[in-house]
Amino acid sequence: MATNKPYDNRAWLGVLPVLLIVAFSAVIPLMTVVNYSVQDILDFNSRFYVGLDWYRETLQDPRFIDAFGRQVLFSFSVLAIEIPLGILVARGLPKSGVWTSILLILLAVPLLIPWNVVGTIWQIYARSDIGLLGVGLNELGLAFNYTSNPTHAWLTLIAMDVWHWTSLVALLSFAGLTSVPPAYYQAAELDGASKWQVFRYVEMPRLGGVLVIAVLLRLMDSFMIYTEPFVLTGGGPGNATTFLSQYLATMAVGQFDLGPAAAFSVIYFLFILLFCWIFYNSVMSDDNEAQHHD
């Protein structure tokens, strides 16, 4: 934001509609959640205050801990694949021309497919009876079946998430790369820089900003993943692919355990905020150190 903007509190009038609509769709529900999280609700007429019991219970719930562990593992796995892969794809894109437009549109397509359809696409693609991937792998001699083998289910989920979201990283990185002036490449070439050095010293510094955004987005979105595993594996086999959102949805809508579900929600939300905050701060403090040299 520019620094020389005039100070005017009438500007609040401009943000008022946003404030009202977000208050309606965020503040009221969040207050409800917090309110439930400290009560035991047998039915809506008999409820009593239980303090932080539900929080304690949730944090000690082995199923919550398992789901949380799976969630962390999943998020870090997909980040570890999608971020480097997205950068490579972006570097491979031609800088201009007809192919650039075609490839950009192709890359954007997975982002615009309804999430459950993504699940459906991968379901019919990976099934061992009718899917191209499933049948193909079995033809190769691998006994692939993601509906019964937890490892296969995991791999399929990760492959699906990579298919679904690497484009986002690639589009962001491509935007970052197009901001590198051609003279930088020319200078590095004349300096005799290797391809790796060009990437490391010319492209990476320019990608910094967009990569922070990419990691943040992928971190929080992968942490909230619900629909795709719901369609593809239904959380199974067993609970092998049950992540936090699924567990929460089962608790809240399936079993109507309002108190525990609310406590779970608050913890869940705080965890995402915490993750993003830690990541954002670690990146920004690096930046500050760099500026501190003078």
Task: Report helix, strand or coil for 256.
Answer: coil
Question: According to CB under 8 A, which one of 167, 222, 233, 241 is a site residue for another protein?
Answer: 167
Instruction: Count the residues of the shown chain that bind another protein, applying the rule CB under 8 A.
Output: 125
Spatial contact of 119 and 227, defined as CB atoms under 8 Å apart: yes
Interface mask toward another protein for 55-94; x: CB under 8 A = ------------------------------x--xx-xxx-
112 lies in the binding site for another protein (CB under 8 A): yes
47 lies in the binding site for another protein (CB under 8 A): no
Question: According to CB under 8 A, which one of 107, 153, 215, 240 is a site residue for another protein?
Answer: 107
- Determine the residue type at 55: Y
Stretch that binds another protein, among 5-13, 53-61, 75-83, 149-157 (CB under 8 A): 5-13
CB nearer another protein, residue 144 or residue 268: 268
Spatial contact of 135 and 173, defined as CB atoms under 8 Å apart: no
Spatial contact of 87 and 169, defined as CB atoms under 8 Å apart: yes
Question: According to CB under 8 A, which one of 69, 80, 269, 281 is a site residue for another protein?
Answer: 269
140 lies in the binding site for another protein (CB under 8 A): no
36 lies in the binding site for another protein (CB under 8 A): yes
Question: According to CB under 8 A, which one of 67, 78, 79, 121 is a site residue for another protein?
Answer: 121
Closest distance of CB 90 from another protein, Å: 8
Assess whether the previous peptide bond of 6 is cis (omega < 30° from 0): no
CB nearer another protein, residue 149 or residue 227: 227
Question: According to CB under 8 A, which one of 52, 65, 111, 142 is a site residue for another protein?
Answer: 111
114 lies in the binding site for another protein (CB under 8 A): yes
Closest distance of CB 140 from another protein, Å: 14
CB nearer another protein, residue 240 or residue 266: 266
Distance CA 165, CA 8 (A): 41
Cα distances (angstroms) measured from residue 248 to each of 63, 167, 260, 265:
11, 28, 9, 7
The DSSP secondary-structure symbol of 109 reads G
How many C-beta neighbours within 10 Å does residue 55 have? Answer: 19
104 lies in the binding site for another protein (CB under 8 A): yes
Distance CA 110, CA 118 (A): 8
- State which of positions 207-246 bind another protein (CB under 8 A): 209-210, 212-213, 217, 220, 223-224, 226-227, 230-231, 244-245
Closest distance of CB 46 from another protein, Å: 17
For residue 186, how many C-alpha atoms fall within 13 Å in the half-sphere facing its CB? Answer: 3
Distance CA 203, CA 220 (A): 26
CB nearer another protein, residue 19 or residue 52: 19
Query: Cα-Cα-Cα-Cα dihedral of 75, 76, 77, 81, to 10°?
Result: 110
Interface mask toward another protein for 170-209; x: CB under 8 A = xxx-xxx-xx-x-xx-xx-xxxxxxxxxxx-xx-xxx--x
DSSP characters for 174-198?
A: HHHHTTS-HHHHHHHHHTT--HHHI
Structure token digits, residue 193:
């820089």
Question: According to CB under 8 A, which one of 53, 61, 81, 110 is a site residue for another protein?
Answer: 110
